Amino acid sequence: MYLENISLHNFRNYSDLETEFIPGVNVLLGANAQGKTNLLESIYVLALTRSHRTSNDRDLISWGADNARLATRVHKRMSSVPLELELSSKGKRAKVNHLEQSKLSQYIGQLNVILFAPEDLSLVKGSPAIRRRFIDMEFGQMSSKYLYNSAQYRTILKQRNQYLKQLKFKANKDKVFLGVLSDQLAAYGAEIIFQRRLFLKKLEKWAQQLHTQISLGKEHLTFEYVSQVSQKQDATVEQLYDELQKAFASHEERELQQGTTLVGPQRDDVRFLVNDKNVQTFGSQGQQRTTALSVKLAEIDLMKEETGEYPVLLLDDVLSELDDDRQTHLLKTIQNKVQTFLTTTSLSGIARQLIDEPRIFTIKSGTLHKEE
């Protein structure tokens, strides 16, 4: 899978942009604040209909404009598919092959991307919320079922939290409806936990191989899904459903006092263990970076395994954060494998040696110039 081209209208600092890309490495070169990350962001938005930098779509639309339009043609093994996305105050409109999609979930998955930015190093040492978001964003691209279950869970969780607040402040006294919401939440929550564990087991397999290579065989990486319900990694959906129901019942009094849901996948976490030690707590900065790099690169092979297509890789100023050994491993892993978009203020000597015939674009003030 690769992007043949891109067209942007009133997106961030690009009033109008049209350009073509190569299936290999596309380097976006320029000083800071010129639009390199904006272009990378536009590809991410085309894939997931949302930004990784802001939750407010208004931020994506050029100052003074009413809407933004993004378009691309995605080359796949069996076809070439045009995608279009329009952002405005009225919401989003998405088209696949010129046909408008009634739901964004029908659009997501047409273009799969993996973004690796300096802040992704916090995947290991950051908060559980960062790791949950990582799981939800990446697995949601690979599984429409997971995307649906997650959306349903979030909707019901919001309703249940609102109802708990009503009960807390005596605006409502009927606990029967709370039981209905708890049952629905347990059903979708069980599916999410089951699928997360399945996803992480597959991701672990690929990450272990990469981590062993980068650490020259000195370290062994494993994942551990941390949940308030069954710690059995082979628990069935039915078992998880029963345990979530029991957890909601046992936490009910505390939830009524606090006015919020205290158990469920929205509070789960993932631990990364290097040689059986939690790398977040006991790992060096080098081990944490190697772990983050291994996990992100493992997604490439997992997406290929799950979808039959390699994803598009977006590297936002990552080279400057990695030492020579990790740079070398990263660039060798992606070479001749995935289409890559790499933003940088300058191509280091090691990068120039390892990247085979890149297409280099110089970006200045939202204007793109292709180097010949």
Is 35 annotated as belonging to a binding site? yes
Residue 124 CA to residue 121 CA, distance in Å, equals: 6
- Which one, of 303, 312, 288, lies nearest residue 123 by Cα? 288
34 is in an annotated binding site: yes
> Angle at CA 147, nearest 5°, toward 50 and 96?
60
For residues 190 and 237, is the Cβ–Cβ distance under 8 A? yes
Does 30 belong to an annotated binding site?
yes
Q: Is 33 annotated as ligand-binding?
A: yes
Q: Is 32 annotated as a binding residue?
A: yes
Strand partners, 364: 367
Instruction: State whether the Cα torsion 358-364-370-372 is positive or negative.
Output: negative
Could you give the count of Cα atoms lying within 13 Å of 33 in the half-sphere of its Cβ? 0
User: Are 315 and 28 contacting, i.e. CB atoms less than 8 angstroms apart?
Assistant: no
How many residues are listed for the chain in this entry? 372
Which residues are registered as beta bridge partners of 200? Answer: none
- Helices and strands (H and E) in the chain: how many: 12, 15
Q: Which residue's entry shows tokens 């597959």?
A: 202
- Ligand-binding site membership of 31 (annotated): yes
Bind-site residues for ATP: 30-37
Bind-site residues: 30-37
